[in-house]
């Protein structure tokens, strides 16, 4: 590809450094466009923000759900997963509002979390305090480490 474009029948031979510079410009342009695309949709699909932690007996999933009432999120669990769904509604802005930055979105959301081990779905508890949903997922007996005595 480089050799073919090194010779232009109308202008003769071109410098190999000019071709390298052209390729560098194209790569920079491609990189800039890729970065714009990634930052443009950065927050879509990741609401609510979630942290997953564990101790010896439980997994804990904490999700930020500001403005939602206790009965609004739909939570379902499986043997090794958790799904949180709901809808976030923001106050309507006037039609004349001019946005300088818009990061908060409204609408339906859904997040799925796969846990590293099995849980006991019947003992799962959830509470919503100050806009933070905390789901406590007890580990199944088969997932807990067992202490074995050497005899």
- pLDDT tens for the 151 residues of the chain, in order: 445 555 666 666 666 677 788 888 898 888 878 776 655 544 445 688 999 999 989 999 999 998 889 999 999 999 889 999 999 888 877 788 888 887 777 889 999 999 999 999 999 999 999 999 999 999 998 777 778 889 8
Q: Find where tokens 């930052």 sit.
A: 39
Question: CA 40 to CA 85: how far, in whole Å?
Answer: 24
Q: How many CB atoms lie within 10 A of CB 145?
A: 7
């Amino acid at each position: 590809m480089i050799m073919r474009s090194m010779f232009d029948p109308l202008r003769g031979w071109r410098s190999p450094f000019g071709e390298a510079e052209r390729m560098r410009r194209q790569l920079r342009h491609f990189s800039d466009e890729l970065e714009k695309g990634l930052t443009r949709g950065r927050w879509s699909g990741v609401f609510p923000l979630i942290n997953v932690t564990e101790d010896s007996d439980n997994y804990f999933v904490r999700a930020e759900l500001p403005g939602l009432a206790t009965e609004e999120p739909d939570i379902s669990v499986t043997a090794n997963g958790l799904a949180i769904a709901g809808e976030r509604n923001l106050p309507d802005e006037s039609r004349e509002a001019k946005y300088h930055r818009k990061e908060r979105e409204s609408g339906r959301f859904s997040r799925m979390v796969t846990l590293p081990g099995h849980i006991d779905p019947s003992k799962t508890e959830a509470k919503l305090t100050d806009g933070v949903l905390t789901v406590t997922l007890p580990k199944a007996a088969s997932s807990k480490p067992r202490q074995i005595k050497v005899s």
